[in-house]
Amino acid sequence: SALAQFEPVARELNLTQEQAQKLVDVYPKVLAGVQQQQAESWQKQTEDWAAAVKADKDIGGDKLASNLGAAQRAIDTFGTKELKEYLDGTCARSLVNAAP
């Protein structure tokens, strides 16, 4: 557990019980902030990828809807259940839904 890992470090640093407790108390807040930052970063990354695909001269623009349709048909025909679940889990399908 996290506490089992923290305790030897706190002892090595010669923290008082009060100091150690302050760190334990603040940890969930720090962790929540890190998780929020990661989620925001991932959201921005997927939005950037979608924008790049839409702007691509070979597959985007007026060609986007037909290319996404072809990709969807290929996934429906050849994709395994696991691939489809993976694509759903990584937000890859959101680009299909965002097509004009």
- Closest by CA position to 23, among listed 14, 34, 15, 33: 15
Question: Each residue's pLDDT tens digit in the chain (100 positions)?
Answer: 888 899 999 999 999 999 999 999 999 999 999 999 999 998 898 889 889 988 999 999 999 999 988 988 999 999 999 998 888 877 666 665 555 5
Q: Distance (Å, rounded) from C-alpha 34 to C-alpha 36?
A: 5
User: What is the token pair recorded at 82?
Assistant: 């696991």
Side chain identity at 68, as an amino acid letter?
A: L
Give helix 81-89 / helix 64-78 axis angle, nearest 10°: 140
Q: What is the pLDDT of residue 43?
A: 87
* In the chain, where the domains are located: 1-43, 56-100
Q: What is the pLDDT of residue 20?
A: 94
User: What is the token pair recorded at 81?
Assistant: 């259940």
